[in-house]
Amino acid sequence: MRLPGIRLVRDGAPIPVAEYTRTIRIGSRRVPETVRPERVLRHFSRGATIVLQALHRQWPPVGELCRDLELDLTHPVQANAYVTPATSRGFAIHHDTHDVFVIQTHGRKEWRVYPPVIELAGKEQRWSSELGDPGAPLLEMELAPGDVLYIPRGFPHDAAAREEVSIHVTIGIQARTWLDVWRHVMEGAPEHAPFREALPIGFARDEEALAAEIAAGLPELAAWLEKASGPEAAASFVEGFWEARRPVLSGQLEQVARLDSLGPRTALRVRAGATLQPGREGGDAVARLGDRVLRMPAWCEPALRHVAEASGPFAPGELPGLDPDSAVVLCRRLVVEGVLEAPDG
């Protein structure tokens, strides 16, 4: 493993990465910040928590869970794992700027959740000790394997392992907010010429005059926002979410290796976590696959919709509007793209 896929924390403080990583060589290339397992275990024996970051990118079952949540919530989802030695604590009191589901998988851990000191803390309201004492806990509880604790963003919390090693997985919901929408809309502001005009000469010496100029410009801003925040802005904001959903490709090597055996009667199913949104653009059928868009003749659209709406296994020969050979070609392409899989593959 390499950073940032792992980090070590003890009693609220990160352990310097130089203490458990080194630079190695693979062929002629230097690979920095590569983990030294013996040093990680040494720090663990001294009370350090091992944090496995972006676990959804490393462990397929966790990745599938996160993708299912993403498709239901349409908010990005991530996962970390925390391995804490007995009677130890990794992090001091802090709040997260995303919602968290804590899933206890091994051992027991004592949790305390405090009232928020900032309402709906976002990326700009990260935790700092300068925020003050959150007061008495709202909730104190011990999590055992199988327990799940939901902590909304902005609620300070801390935790400590009991008499054995504790492992929990946090599923973080990176909520998209109205701030994100307005930032997206404002990305088009530089194209509006009046916004590029220079401020009045001497503006920094006359705050009242500048405030009056700002107030006078509000109708212009309001008119531009009304025009810029229409359906096209909403569509591009939504498209940004789907474009960030990469295909889930566990077991894909075997699926691709068996493509030649895929025929009109081969049982196929939509891969768990796949995104397929069929539609029309101009005279073409399109298949939006998250981070990619496929274009094909318009007569493929009914077959694409059949695939997208399939609730169980189907065979290529069942696709409407296509002859058997064309159906096989389409299905092979969708297997390559990570949309379909053969259940027995």
Residue 296: per-residue pLDDT:
94
Domain limits, CATH 2.60.120.650, in the chain = 54-173
What is the CB neighbour count within 10 angstroms for residue 215?
A: 9
Range(s) of the chain covered by CATH 3.90.930.40: 252-341
Cα–Cα distance measured from residue 258 to residue 46, given in angstroms and rounded to the nearest whole number: 49
333's enclosing H/E stretch is: helix 324-336
Reported as a single tens digit per residue, the pLDDT across 112-148 is: 999 999 999 999 999 998 898 899 999 999 999 999 9
Domain 252-341 sits in CATH at 3.90.930.40
pLDDT at 345 over 60: no
- Give the helix/strand (H/E) hosting 71: helix 60-73
Q: Which residues pair with 106 in a beta bridge?
A: 167
By three-state DSSP, how is residue 162 classified?
coil
What does DSSP say about strands 77-84 and 166-173: parallel, antiparallel, or unpaired? Answer: antiparallel
What's the token pair of residue 300?
């493929």
Q: How many CB atoms lie within 10 A of CB 8?
A: 23
Strands 99-106 and 21-26: unpaired
- Which phi and psi (to 5°) does residue 73 adopt? -90, -25
pTM across the whole model: 0.88
Q: Are 115 and 135 in contact (CB under 8 A)?
A: yes
Tokens of 236: 């591009």
Average pLDDT over residues 220-248: 92
Give the architecture-level CATH label for domain 54-173. Answer: Sandwich (2.60)
DSSP code, position 16: P
Confidence of residue 250 (pLDDT cuts 50, 70, 90): confident
The pLDDT, as a whole number, for residue 130 is 87
Asked if pLDDT for residue 333 goes beyond 70, the answer is yes
